[in-house]
Amino acid sequence: MLDVMIFVANGLANGTHRPYQQPNFEPPSTAVVINSLFFASLSASLVAGLASVVALQWVADYDAAIIRGGSSPEDRAKRRQFRYSGVVSWEMSEIIAALPLLLYASVILFLIGLTQWMWILHPVVGSVVAGGMAIAILFYGVTTLLSVAFVSAPFRTPLSRWIYSYISILLLGLYSFTQLLRIQHIPTWLSRHYSSYEGAKKREDSKIDKRSDLAMDALIWLANRLSTSQDSYKRLLLLANELRKQDLRHFESLKFQNAPWFSIFDLLGWKHLKIDPLQDISAEEMRAVAVLAHCYRIPVIQRILRPGERISYYWDKTQEEYWSQHCATVKPQWSQSSLSTRPNSLFLLLRDVPLPSKDTASQLEFTIRLSRWRNSPKQGPKQEAHHQVIPGDDSHLYGITVASVVQGCITGGGGLSPVFLDSLRLRFESILLGEEGHNLDAKSCLSQPLLYYKALVNKGSKYGSLHSDFTLLLARNIHSYSGAERARRVKEVLIMMWFSIGPYGFLMRRVQGMEAFFEANTKGIANWVRRLNRIPRILEILEHLARAQAAQPDIGSLWQADKPESGLVSAFGAFDELIRGDITREQHCILIDLICQDIEMEPLGTFKDFNVGDRRLFDFLRDPCLRFLAQFIAGLDATFADNKSPLQPSWARIAKHLLNYYKGTDSPHILKMQAFAWKLAPADTAALCKLALRDPDTLVSIAFLYTYFSSTKN
């Protein structure tokens, strides 16, 4: 139009007339650039839209192929696995993740074109648009780089994951290049990155595994958001089950203590609180009580559940009110409104009950039955004369419950953990002693041994049977200890066995404390061996004592407390009477081993002062192994068995004792017995026979004994 107006003006001014010719149009380069950016942006957005629709069709077809009807579940599973394998192998997830990049590119291209256009029209307007674009690019770039540098940054995008992967590959290549060139001083940050390199998808998993507090924070979050109602019991039990797996230091946080754990555990405890003591125990109940017992053992949870000042609760166990309080409370429906008027249900459920130290069926059953007994209004303890706290009814449900559970452990060959067994025994002692047990040490069993013994004699066989069960379980647990604690437990077993043999308490000194009592009455306690036939399951108890003595010789002799000769005479007679019963070859060998071990606890030459009566008693011993040992120790000639004896393992133990214990002796009597015994010793005797044939003097020489002892592996 400008050219046409110029042509007309020239004509009106009588200018030279020339034919009009339109000039060639050449758009400015800025217009080309701006239009290219705009249309590139439009193209990118259209391609992103089309690709997104296609991706949706991919996903819809994938789902339709999986849920298509008319086929068996097996066919659908195979079809799903086939489709899923294709998705993984063809990187469909990566393709879909790249689609937002087209939109990012579209926005960037549009903003660049707009900025350039506005700048041409007016620099001020262009500066404003450029500033907005710079802020947008800076925001996106900073958030993306933050997610690359810090795993916990919540600004992750596919681009940030790719940037991290490319940077890591670059750094790994740089590290490999420095290694190839054998550069000695590699930068510390490069070495650290190489040693800690992980894939982009595994970074978060690795960080989560290193954060031990995340699990507790998640449980606190759930506790604050789960509804506390009867319908939520299973979910809340699962939540409590996870608490037992957490580190104890995480429970001290204020965030944990502010969570509604009081209401949660009140509901969980209420579910098991009011149940008939005679009702059967289900497997589900045992699992639930195992979880609750673990949680109740956590000190912080105990403080949360403990009755506060606003709740009236008696703590004096010598008062009748303590035992009867809250036993008769019946709440058919659980509600949070009752929390202000009574103690927490879980606290009531597990009060005065030994908690299981292991989730074994026997311990859990015992805990549940005692809890039912404790919270039953009909069978709770009563107050009788002189404030003596005893079981409320004549059946002594506590003793019956413990006896049935303990008997099941013994019959099955199992045992109770040391801590759990001690808690049972402490409770048993407090019931057995009654009002005299108010000074019992809450951390040590048999703190008043003589009072315990007298009460055991007066109560009769019902408590005596439970005492015998405890003795066997204590012996089974000896292997769980070591050092001084093992020696202390052996003393405890010896005292418990002494309690079982009869009324000899008037001869003992009254001393408080188990170890002090043992030291003051060692001679009297050693008399257990005189009447060991009266001790139930004595063979198994002796087996455990023999193993403890063999593993730890400083335990010392088990019965040679007064005169060694007197103790041996009693032991030989009692063991001979025990052997007359129905015992196996293995049990016979254990008894012989125990006698040999106990003899070896004394210095050489101790057993020489046997009187004539003792020596004659040895002649009446029926067991050949015991008779040989007794006559040999008394200095008498004894007859050794041959290689075909049915008691060959016991004879082999005696042979080992003779050759080991009396090694280096010059006594003709001992050398003579050794010459008979060495052929039965558990060793390769063929080589020794050849040696004796070459040099007959070897049989009576110290060199032979040394050679023999060195050749034995036992």
Tell whether the torsion through CA atoms of 282, 288, 294 and 295 is positive or negative: negative
Q: Each residue of 166-195: pLDDT tens digit? A: 777 676 666 666 666 665 555 555 555 555
DSSP characters over 355-393: PPSS--HHHHHHHHHHHHHHT-TTTS-EE-GGG-EE-SS
Helix 648-661 to helix 624-633 angle (10° resolution) is 20
- Please tell me whether residue 444 adopts helix, strand or coil conformation: coil
The mean pLDDT of 666-692, rounded to a whole number, is: 65
- Domain locations in the chain as residue ranges: 29-163, 211-377, 396-556, 566-711
Q: Each residue of 74-109: pLDDT tens digit? A: 888 888 888 888 988 898 988 888 888 899 899 989
pLDDT > 90 in the chain, percent: 16
Average of per-residue pLDDT values in the chain:
78
pLDDT > 70 in the chain, percent: 74
pLDDT score, position 388: 35
pLDDT score, position 273: 86
d(CA 611, CA 413): 43
How far is Cα of residue 302 from the mean position of the Cα atoms in its chain?
A: 20
Angle at 590 between CA 408 and CA 494, to 5 degrees: 65
d(CA 237, CA 239): 5
Beta bridge mates, 650: none
pLDDT score, position 46: 94
pLDDT score, position 187: 58
pLDDT band at 389 (very low <50, low <70, confident <90, very high): very low
**Regarding predicted confidence, which is higher, 616 or 374?**
374
User: Could you identify the residue written with the tokens 């107006």?
Assistant: 5
Mean pLDDT lowest for which of 180-184, 581-585, 665-669, 710-714? 710-714
Longest dimension (CA), the chain: 171
User: Could you identify the residue written with the tokens 């041996």?
Assistant: 568
**How far from each other are the two terminal CA atoms of the chain, in whole angstroms?**
122
